[in-house]
DNA sequence: CATGAATGAGTTTTCATTCAT
DNA sequence: GATGAATGAAAACTCATTCAT
């Protein structure tokens, strides 16, 4: 389950990194517009600023491009998220910070994230687990943050509930991208975030608690 | 925004219906396995039990198959859901029934639903709005059921919150299919349903309300 | 080199004749619009007023339709021409009458004639000679009429010249159909006929003969 | 009404020219044999000496091949004709030279010309006018040459007559190709030319002039 | 006789990938 | 390393023809 190795004919690691970044940007632009399958390798090469021959100096197959894109998007989401939540806050505050940060990142990267979630299923069988692992890792962070809030009178929640809540939060983040067609008419990001947090952490409903 | 007309060279309406049902079943089976783009029209024809020539007697293009599949899945979800929630129950009971029913239907039809949500984006531009309309309609039903629960001491919720909660419920239904790879390890459908309802309708968290 | 036999599954000769007439009319209409190759047998059947199955009760293959069309057009041209030139006139008057009649028939049947000349080359190898025979026969009539004008002081013309003049007249007739795009801007049928006759039979140029 | 642009994926203009020449030769050979519609793109590629994939690097669609063929044949006819008539001759001599040259070119290029005249009608709507323009241009040259002969006692002819005579000459040129099946039995090219010139420019008929 | 659904070989076109320069 | 022309397998779609009803 380690990072998939994308083959390249080129030795210079610096160059590989540079070219692949160009490639990923070009590919995202195109995938956004027409999806992975309707985008040709020729188009990716052109959009990336080099020739089809060069493209294949840095990848082994078209699927590698998709893998690089998915990997890159996850990495970027992760990096941005980490930088936002790297604070001293603890407990509920930290959990709220994580949620807010997640939604913010999803909003900033909505096109990239949408592309990624819509196309992961086209990844080759061997690459999927590696990508899913990142999803699992992020979910685990949230789950931990939830569990760290558990305290009588603050958050009473079972392990299973914590797990599911973590999944829910992840999905609410993604949902902001894939259900945008409906949500954007009714909510700003701030409204969306506030209401979701309120619903997640209580306050909406009250009768059962008495 | 009306039902898209899929052209057919065959006159017998009964036969059209029958053949298209075969076709939809065949297509779902294949889309499940390899996705829409990796499935060829020949494969669809073969899986459906007829020749490629016959396939094209009942559709105008490959995209029509996708449209028929999406339309059919929505219709089926809707029919099943309607039959499950067509009861006398009202208020919170009715809302819980709707949620439970939705999740049950999603569970029963997980493959079909997954296929549909993953491939809608490949629908031709003109067909998408029609399909989204169905999603909107289902969300609206849930939203109404939520609003019908509003009562001091039972459910205090603003219009916006109700709208978002409806979306959340729809997404939690879909999530049971597209996040199955993670959820199935931790939850049975019953557990999933119970916890989600509990989280949606309160009881998990309590301190803030005081 | 006899009339090609077009096979039919039907016995009733009367019916065969009737159906084929429908078929020929339908086919000409379509060939006019889109040419033989771009017209499908299904379209021919529909335009003719019956089903594709019925079409094949009266022909053996699509090429037979083309043959029937070509044959029919020639027959019609011939019939009309014969009826127009069946008079007592002789000599130059008769020749002029033939030319005028030919051009008139070509004008009346321009679409049919154009279709025929454009598509004969698609006839199956065996059918072509039979159709060409009709062309030869018509040319021969003209050639004879030319020769019948030969008389010192009236028309002095060698055999070879007479032959070529006959071909020229045939082609001038066809030309009125296939070069219509250019001629219709400059000439009415009457003008066209008058000038062509004048040019064919002298009067345009004169000085060299003295 | 300008030269239609045929799209190519290849950049090297030299190479495009070369490949298209191969393609045109291959296509003419095949169209000659079986016509445009019965010739497949695969056959064209093979006959041209490259693969089907390569063929489509140099054209956008099968119709483009037809356009290239028609364009090329006209260009070639025009070039050859121009080189033959580029002399000092004037008046009747020049007209006779043009006619003789036209017939010679038609004879040399009979297959190509025949193919072109039989298939122009299959050109896409937008391409036809451009090709017809070339036909018009050639006719105009002849018309001018005719008018340049006008002189009392040499050639007395009205404008309309000159126009029609020009069309006649063009058609007599084409006729040598499309009526070859009949003419070749009776005439050599020289005979054909001599008699046609005699008939066009007088001497065959005489009675009216007295 | 008439019908029209079924067939599948054949057609155009695309596009990932290779490799000589 | 970079280029882009060449390749051909594979895909969508067509349509003449058949044959059971």
DSSP labels, C84-146? HH-SS--HHHHHHHHHHHHHHHHHHTHHHHHHHHHHGGGS-TTTHHHHHHHHHHHHHHHHHHH
Q: With an 8 Å Cβ cutoff, is D199 touching chain C?
A: yes
Least confident residue range of C46-50, C170-174, D120-124 = D120-124
Residue B208 — very low, low, confident or very high, per pLDDT cuts 50/70/90?
A: very low
Q: In b/e form, how buried is each residue of C144-158, taking b as 16+ CB within 10 angstroms?
A: ebbbebeeeeebbbe
Position A204 pLDDT exceeds 70: no
CA of A37 to C1' of E20 (A): 30
Residues 17-46 of D with CB under 7 A from strand E: 39-42
Chain A interface, mutation test: which of B203, B204, B209, most A Cβ atoms within 10 Å?
Answer: B204
Best mutation target among B207, B209, B210 (most A Cβ atoms within 10 Å) is B207
Which residue of B lies nearest to A168 if distances are taken between CA atoms?
Answer: B172
C69: exposed, middle or buried (C-beta count within 10 Å: 0-12, 13-18, 19+)?
Answer: buried
> Cβ contact (<8 Å) for A203 and B201?
no
Distances (CA, A) of D132 to B162, C185, D116, D121, D138: 69, 14, 12, 11, 10
**Distance from C-alpha of B56 to C-alpha of B62, rounded to nearest angstrom:** 9
Cα Rg of chain C (Å, integer) = 20
User: Contact at 8 Å (CB) between D132 and D125?
Assistant: no
Residue range B174-187: mean pLDDT, rounded = 96
The separation, in Å, between residue D67 CA and nucleotide E5 C1' comes to 39
Comparing A159-168, B58-67, D13-22, D123-132, the range with the smallest average pLDDT is D123-132
At a CB cut-off of 8 Å and minimum separation 6, what does B137 contact?
none
- Residue A141, both tokens: 């962070």
Q: Please tell me the predicted confidence (pLDDT) of residue C1.
A: 59
Opening angle at CA C135, ends C132 and C141, nearest 5: 145
Determine which helix (DSSP H) or strand (DSSP E) holds B180, and give its type and residue range: helix B180-186
Q: What is chain C's length?
A: 210
| Nearest chain D Cα distance for residue C205, angstroms | 5
| Residue whose CA is minimally distant from F15 C1' | C40
Under-70 pLDDT residues of chain D:
1-2, 203-210
Query: Is the Cβ atom of C140 within 7 Å of strand E at any atom?
Result: no
Query: CA B63 – C1' F10 distance (Å)?
Result: 18
User: B interface mutation test: which of A136, A199, A200, A210 has the most B CBs within 10 A?
Assistant: A199
| Nucleotide nearest D57 (Cα, C1') | F5
* Beta carbons of C206 and D167 less than 8 Å apart: no
With cut-offs at 50, 70 and 90, classify the pLDDT of residue C2. Answer: low
Across the interface, whether the CB atoms of A202 and B202 are under 8 A apart is answered: yes
Write down which residues 52-81 in A have CB closer than 7 A to strand E.
52-53, 56, 61-63
What is the per-residue pLDDT for D208? 38
Average pLDDT, chain C: 92
- From CA A84, how far away is CA A104, in angstroms rounded? 10
Q: What is the mean pLDDT of residues B93-99?
A: 96
- Decide if A195 and B164 are in contact by the 8 Å CB cutoff: yes
List the single residue in C37, C165, C195 with the smallest CB-CB distance to D161. C195
Rounded to a whole number of angstroms, the distance from the CA of C80 to the nearest CA of chain D is 23
Q: How far is the CA of B36 from the C1' of E11 (A)?
A: 24
Question: What are the C-alpha distances in Å from B196 to residues B117, C143, D28?
Answer: 21, 98, 72
Contacts of C166 in chain D (CB under 8 A): none
> How would residue B1 be classed by pLDDT, with cut points 50, 70 and 90?
low
Q: Which residue is nearest to nucleotide E10 (CA to C1')?
A: D40
Number of A/B CB contacts below 8 angstroms equals 129
User: What φ, ψ does residue B11 adopt, rounded to 5°?
Assistant: -90, -45
Helices and strands (DSSP H and E) totals, chain C? 10, 0
pLDDT score at A120? 93
Contact C164 D210 (CB under 8 A): no
D54: CB within 7 A of chain E nucleic strand: no
Q: What is the spatial distance, in angstroms and rounded to an integer, between the CA atom of A127 and the C1' atom of E11?
A: 38
Are the C-beta atoms of D45 and D27 separated by less than 8 Å? no
Across the interface, do A182 and B136 touch by the CB < 8 Å criterion? yes
Our measurement of CA D104 to C1' E8, in angstroms, reads: 49
Collapsed DSSP state (helix, strand, coil) of residue C117? helix
How many angstroms separate the CA atoms of A81 and A102, rounded? 6
And the tokens for A151? 């305290």
| Angstrom distance (rounded) from CA D67 to CA D116 | 9
CA–CA distances in Å: residue B199 to residues A205, B145, C27, C175: 10, 17, 71, 86
The confidence band for C155, taking pLDDT boundaries of 50, 70 and 90, is: confident
CA distances from A157 to A137, A173, A204, D137, D154 (A): 21, 21, 17, 90, 115
Q: Do chains C and D touch (3 or more CB pairs under 8 A)?
A: yes
Instruction: Give the pLDDT of residue B58.
Output: 98
Distance D61 CA to E12 C1' (A): 8
Does residue C206 surpass a pLDDT of 90?
no
pLDDT of residue C208: 38
Q: What is the pLDDT of residues C13-41, one digit of tens each?
A: 999 999 999 999 999 999 999 999 999 99
pLDDT digits (tens, 9 = 90+) for B101-137: 999 999 999 999 999 999 999 999 889 999 999 999 9
3-state secondary structure of A205: strand
In this prediction, residue A209 has a pLDDT band, given cuts at 50, 70 and 90, of very low
CA of B15 to C1' of E5 (A): 10
D-facing residues of C in 12-71 (CB < 8 A) are 35, 37
pLDDT, tens only, B130-159:
999 999 999 999 999 999 999 888 888 999
Best mutation target among A111, A178, A205 (most B Cβ atoms within 10 Å) is A205
Q: Which pLDDT score, from 0 to 100, does residue D138 have?
A: 96
Rg (CA), chain B: 20
Query: How many CB atoms neighbour CB C34 within 10 A?
Result: 12
Q: Which of A154-158, B45-49, D59-63 has the lowest mean pLDDT?
A: A154-158
**Which positions on strand E lie below 7 Å from a protein C-beta?**
1-20
Residue closest to B169 by CA, chosen among B141, B148, B150 = B141
Q: Average pLDDT of chain B?
A: 93
Residue in chain A lying closest to B114 (CA): A121
Taking a contact as any Cβ pair under 8 Å apart, which residues of chain D between 131 and 150 contact chain C?
A: 132, 135-136, 139
Q: Write down the pLDDT at residue C86.
A: 87
Look at C122 and D35 and tell me if their CB atoms are within 8 Å. Answer: yes
Higher per-residue confidence, A44 vs B208: A44
What distance in Å separates residue D68's CA from the closest CA in chain C? Answer: 20
Which distant-in-sequence residues (6+ apart) come within 8 Å of D13 by Cβ? none
């Amino acid at each position: 389950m380690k990072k998939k190795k994308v083959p390249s004919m080129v030795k210079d690691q610096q160059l590989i990194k540079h070219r692949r970044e160009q490639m990923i940007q070009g590919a995202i632009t195109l995938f956004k517009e027409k999806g992975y399958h309707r985008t040709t390798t020729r188009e990716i090469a052109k959009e990336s600023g080099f020739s089809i021959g060069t493209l294949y100096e840095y990848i082994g197959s078209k699927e590698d491009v998709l893998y690089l894109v998915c990997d890159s998007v996850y990495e970027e989401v992760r990096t941005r998220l980490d930088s936002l939540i790297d604070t001293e806050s603890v407990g509920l505050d930290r959990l709220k910070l994580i949620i807010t940060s997640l939604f913010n990142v999803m909003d900033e990267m909505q096109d990239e994230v949408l592309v990624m979630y819509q196309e992961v299923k086209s990844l080759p069988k061997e690459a999927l687990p590696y990508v899913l692992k990142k999803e699992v890792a992020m979910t685990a962070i949230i789950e931990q943050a939830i569990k760290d809030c558990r305290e009588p009178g603050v958050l009473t929640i079972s392990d299973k509930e914590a797990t599911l809540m973590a999944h829910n939060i992840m999905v609410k983040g993604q949902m902001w991208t894939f259900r945008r067609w409906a949500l954007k008419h009714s909510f700003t990001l701030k409204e969306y975030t506030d209401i979701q947090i309120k619903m997640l952490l209580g306050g909406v409903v009250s009768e059962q608690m008495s």
